[in-house]
Structure 1
Amino acid sequence: MDEELTNLIKKMVIDLGASEVGIVSNEMILNGPDTIDLTYPLKTAKSAIIFAVSLNQDLIDEYLGKVNQKMNLNKIRTTTFAGGIGLELEGLIRQLGYDAVALNPNYVYRFDSENGLDDRKPPLSHIFLGLISGIGFLGHNGLLITKKDGAAIVLSTVVTSAELIPTKPLNPKDNYCDKCNLCVGACIPKYLNKNEVEISLNNLKYKTREYKNKKRCVLVCAGYTGLNPSKKWSTWSSGRFDVLDNDEELVESIKQHVPAYLKRKRNAGVFYHPLAPGYQMEYSCSTCQLICHPDKDVRKKRYNLIRSSGVVIEDEIGNRMAISPEKAEKYINSLNEDRKKLFVDE
């Protein structure tokens, strides 16, 4: 294994702006799902470099508290930035005579999954590789959580034919996730739940939450709707469509909401997604990611922030603001029928 190249790569990634970096070898991914198979994106793969880039923690409270949507743009820009680090690293490794492939941090899925892109199955799981390499722990929200930033990170991976020295996973006993379930309580579409499943990676056992239909997350995080069933608070989405309990009906409801979704404005910055209507999306939720923090008091504060943040409405030119639930109800009822259909079920 190449110690000099390993040290160079780790230093480069941190110097370019990553907060954490880890390395896995082929020997470390023999036991686990196919989303940790390094040879899927690169047949000659022998190692993978996984790294995290921190989101701006200073923007989280204002986002959850409905003061502004600056965190949406920060998350988009950080994702693009992480992808850029991966491309620079790929370039260096290739120039040094090895094969290398940089994988997108997000928005790219396998064509050969059972339902194609619709399964949203990534070429490799940055989360699982980050867990194996010791970047962080596995949280009950299903996300990788680091000692410094919680889940407020963007992950990316570069796979290479170079034989690098792997890093070690963290001790699961040191995982600060105490299953407080604040992420579950803030999940409007009930994508997260309290049930647990066990997964095996590199001969180690990990517990995380049970996965529900991904379309539940899509419905709210993509912004089709965002009103909590209590009608007392919402995400940054101005949609007030019902989140149905039945998965099949829920999937059909997304299709029905597309025309309204396309007519509503997205003024806070967009990213481009192959499965989004019009290929453009903005983050209107991300609560399970942004609530999570190593300090439980911070978690509680953020959870209370979003639950007391009010309900978002959208004016005629697309500006969104949070007001009291009572005022939001009156505003919606004051709209003419055609405009009201952009936000509520007929």
Structure 2
Amino acid sequence: MTMENTQASSLAPAGQAGLQGLRGRLSFIDLMQSVGLLGVILLGGAVMSVLSPVFATTRNIENVLQSATIIAVVAIGQTFVILVAGIDLSVASVLVLSSVLSVGLVQFQGLSPEIGVVVALAAGVGIGLINGLAVTKLRIPALIATLATMTIARGLAYIYSGGTNIAPVPRFFVDFQAARILGIPAVIVLTLVLAVIAQIVLSRTSFGRSIYATGGNPLAARLAGIKTERVIVLAFMISGLMSAIAGLLITARFEAGAATAAQGLELAVIAAVVIGGVSLFGGEGNIGSMLLGVVLLGLVQNAVNLLNVPPNWDSVVSGLVIAAAASLDVYRRNYLEAGMRRKVIATKSARTPKT
């Protein structure tokens, strides 16, 4: 056993109780943030119901939720990356590349639709692997590494498709888009299933605990025996997979390999994740709150459309919401959580017998 591991092992029991108390307090903050987001959504929905009679209709609400599914699926993967204190700007480009491959391999190469789907998903995982290795092995900042793959993947999608959407799509895309499960659109059900799986992974598995530990304190995670580089690579691969799945969903929605879609989607995804309380500093957040962030962002965009606000104001309003969420994140980390840590340390010191 190395000296570092010996030191980490000796310090672990001493801080166990304090850390558990701190986690409990931070979980309470997360709960309050989720409740606050839900309150804002309900209040905004009530206001919009008064301002626009169309808002509360079943059709409009269903459209809002279906539109939000694409962002939600990509945001699930982005959450894993941000939890390890990274960022993935390539998500929209991976989505587009997956979309054109899933249709183009059938139309141009004559492959079966099943192989097209598998290759599309594999492309997303592969780009995620490249991103993860670039960050961990080459030590390239995630912002730069994923900016490069964003440009490359989008370029490959344009080259392969000739810069146009590819149609028609295999029949199962059309059938899936029209399908309902217990009266709920299948795309919404799939999104919820993916979200539940992601939350179980993060909250109930050793890999999930490693994700939080790596993002919260990489050095302590390494001293505890966590292979942080492997965790980071897997987080980027999950992000690539989720982006590829979203590419299949957008293919079903548009009934075409969407070569020109998802412009600026990466910013909307990051906004939704941040609004949902996932800390940009890593190590904090959960899928449930993130989904509320997606819904709130969708509500804002829907309100702008229903109220006939000029299109450019959509970006202004979304930007203000992002700025407010980021400011809240900084305030929570720099003041609330720092204060709680000091309180835990002070309480522990007071209970320690003096010699």
Shorter-chain TM-score category? Answer: under 0.3
The structure where strand makes up a greater share of residues is 1
The structure where helix makes up a greater share of residues is 2
